[in-house]
Structure 1
Amino acid sequence: MSLAPRAVLVHRRTEYEELIAHHGTPGQAAFFLASRGRSVAEVEQRHRRQAEALARAAAAVPLDWRRTRVERADLPRFLFEPEDVVVVVGQDGLVANVAKYLDGQPVVGVDADPGRNPGVLVRHRADALAALLPAAARSGARHLEERTMVEAVADDTQRLLALNEVYVGQPGHQTARYRLAVDGEPAEPQASSGVLVGTGTGATGWCRSAWLERGGPLALPGAAAPALAWFVREAWPSPATGTAQVHGLLDAGRQLVLTVESDRLVAFGDGIEADALELTWGQTIRLGVAPTRLRLLG
């Protein structure tokens, strides 16, 4: 007998909850903002909208399903099951935060604050979940959109997945030194502000910024395309370092290879610096298209 699906509601603490946690009481939080010419009313309203969206999402879960909630900070310790349907209630970035912990489970993005979020990944309203959840749980659901992810693997087996991009560089964003090569091509010693390797989903964020600064030197991949774009940030020419290889595309099967020549570099995904791979002098890290893909309900 197979297990009933489990709805996993993923959310993050609101700005209002963060203020209360920092200042101790609602009154102290309101006083802190008022003393700086700001009102607590706006963050309270966003907090209420988030709470309402979560309540509606929970109420939409079929009665014969299992259910649980997980806060973003607890994702590294949470064990997802194969039967899970993941309901992300919040902002687009929260989908990226959870994607790295999944292995094919369908994701439904719920916009908790319509009009404030772009809604690229959180496309649905909580009121629509009653119909969406059974559709997402069906094997081979036609409306599940598969999005490419990027994988970084170090030579000591450390591994990192990201939906938008992986950054490799100095933890303090100082000059990073390394040798860079695309599989099968000669390596180039470089000194730069770090390297970005991004997906088509990430092409609307950090990678797009790098792309625009270069004047659009290449066509960025689509969200479902099995390809990645990579950019070297502020490469520095010197007698010992070059700038010939500063951007490119990686098709499935090709990898960008960095050999560390700094005392310490880090690699982190989707802007989460707290969950970084630690790299030391002489180590190698390989970045390419991940075998795992995000399955997002369209």
Structure 2
Amino acid sequence: MSGTLAPRVVVVSRRSELEELLARHGTRAAAAHYLRQRGRDLDEVVDRHDGLMAALTTVGAAIPADWRRGRVDRDDLPRFLFGPEDVVVAVGQDGLVANVAKYLDRQPVVGVDPEPGRNAGVLVRVAPAELARLLPAVAVGRARTERRTMVRARLDDGQELTGLNEVYIGHRGHQSARYLLSAPAGTGRPGRGGPRRERQSSSGLVVGTGTGATGWCASIRRDRPGAPEPPDPEQGQLCWYVREAWPSPVTGVTLTEGRLGAGEELELVAEGDGLVVFADGVEDDHLPMSWGQRVTVGPAERRLRLVVPSP
């Protein structure tokens, strides 16, 4: 990295389950009573909290003393200003990397796993003890990285958001949404004809990346034999699925899945109120859509720079 300032490491985490329970119930005794009523034990929650705190302590000790530091909770990400030369260290589950990715623009991200063996480890691949060795290489741009494709949704009023896993467009209550869907020629199933524009009523449209293909998109695709294969996370393509399309005299079910390549977009025009667009499952951070409003969805120009350990 260039510049005269020392690198700044921004550590991103979220409150542990124990912290959330204490915020809700006030005391450990009350939290333990609440958990016992649901067949759970406070000791497990405390152990996971202690593991997260130990990981955060190790991460803090790994940052060189003359470097700058920042700290942000997941819930405060929409209000946090990342600098262009920041090194972002996400300590938590894989989903935390997805949560932070849409607020970044080319900053490298190190995913640190505080609970090896419990997390899938797709995006959090670094053990806390490995960070001290890895950070100097990250700061000078010599660390091994993956450039993971992201998905972008843009409204016709200029508002937009990006996601690392997927973007959802549909009714805010996940009930039936009415809209007109347009897709580029050739984006459906190979060999399938049919319209490239279709009026639909469905429980929403999910447009995912290769990273997100192991999550929500995977659960949808599992019930669709013959659906297009999901893209590679770095391939620059997207997969998309319409959920529970409803056939009627005025709505169709032909244009329900496909792939999008570089420069290709889906277009959706709302034919009802109450529609929303959100990314990576964060429904609170959404864009509202009203009747007649248009949204386009395609591969984002920027990508996540995910730092991965050397083989």
TM score, norm. by length of structure 2: 0.93
CA RMSD in angstroms comes to 1.2
Paired residue for 2:225? 215
Paired residue for 1:98? 100
> Structure 2 regions of 5+ residues with no counterpart?
186-194
Cα drift, residue 34 of structure 1: 2.5
Is the counterpart of residue 64 in structure 1 residue 79 in structure 2? no
Q: Is the 8 A contact 2:196 2:255 kept in 1?
A: no
Q: Is the 8 A contact 1:183 1:257 kept in 2?
A: no
Cα drift, residue 186 of structure 1: 4.2
CA–CA separation in structure 1 for the residues paired with 2:253 and 2:39: 48
CA–CA separation in structure 1 for the residues paired with 2:169 and 2:56: 35
Query: Of 242, 259, 276, which residue of structure 1 is paired with 2:269?
Result: 259
For each residue in 1:254-294, what CA deviation from the matched residue of structure 2 results, as whole angstroms up to 9, or x when unmatched?
00000000122001100000001100000000000001100
**Cα distance change of structure 1 residues 4 and 56 upon mapping to structure 2, 3 Å threshold:** same
CA–CA separation in structure 1 for the residues paired with 2:212 and 2:72: 24
Provide the secondary structure at the position in 2 that maps to 1:31: helix
Cα drift, residue 38 of structure 1: 2.4
Is the counterpart of residue 171 in structure 1 residue 176 in structure 2? no
Q: Is the 8 A contact 1:12 1:73 kept in 2?
A: yes
Paired residue for 2:137? 135
Is the counterpart of residue 148 in structure 1 residue 112 in structure 2? no
| Matched residue type, 1:143 | R
Q: Is the 8 A contact 1:4 1:83 kept in 2?
A: no
Cα drift, residue 60 of structure 1: 0.1
Name the count of aligned residue pairs. Answer: 297
Q: Is the 8 A contact 1:136 1:144 kept in 2?
A: no
Provide the secondary structure at the position in 2 that maps to 1:119: coil
Summarize the alignment of residues 116-127 of structure 1 with structure 2, pairs less than 5 Å apart: 116-127=118-129
**Cα distance change of structure 1 residues 15 and 260 upon mapping to structure 2, 3 Å threshold:** same
Flag the structure with higher strand content. 1
Cα drift, residue 142 of structure 1: 5.2
| Matched residue type, 1:212 | R
Paired residue for 2:259? 249
Provide the secondary structure at the position in 2 that maps to 1:292: coil
Cα drift, residue 216 of structure 1: 4.1
CA–CA separation in structure 2 for the residues paired with 1:164 and 1:195: 14
For each residue in 1:189-232, what CA deviation from the matched residue of structure 2 results, as whole angstroms up to 9, or x when unmatched?
00011000000000000001111111141121001010000000
Query: Of 76, 83, 86, which residue of structure 2 is paired with 1:84?
Result: 86
CA–CA separation in structure 2 for the residues paired with 1:151 and 1:134: 32
For each residue in 1:47-87, what CA deviation from the matched residue of structure 2 results, as whole angstroms up to 9, or x when unmatched?
00000000000000011210111000110010000110000
Query: Of 287, 293, 296, which residue of structure 1 is paired with 2:297?
Result: 287
| Matched residue type, 1:70 | V
CA–CA separation in structure 1 for the residues paired with 2:89 and 2:161: 23
For each residue in 1:103-125, what CA deviation from the matched residue of structure 2 results, as whole angstroms up to 9, or x when unmatched?
00000000011111000000011
Question: Greater shift after overlay, 163-172 or 24-33?
Answer: 24-33
CA–CA separation in structure 1 for the residues paired with 2:200 and 2:58: 52
Provide the secondary structure at the position in 2 that maps to 1:291: coil
CA–CA separation in structure 1 for the residues paired with 2:223 and 2:265: 24
For each residue in 1:115-149, what CA deviation from the matched residue of structure 2 results, as whole angstroms up to 9, or x when unmatched?
1100000001110011111111123x351110000
Paired residue for 2:160? 159
TM score, norm. by length of structure 1: 0.97
Paired residue for 2:212? 202
Cα drift, residue 176 of structure 1: 0.7
| Matched residue type, 1:95 | V
Question: Greater shift after overlay, 280-289 or 206-215?
Answer: 206-215
Q: Is the 8 A contact 2:94 2:119 kept in 1?
A: yes
For each residue in 1:3-48, what CA deviation from the matched residue of structure 2 results, as whole angstroms up to 9, or x when unmatched?
1110000000000000000001112111222344421000000000
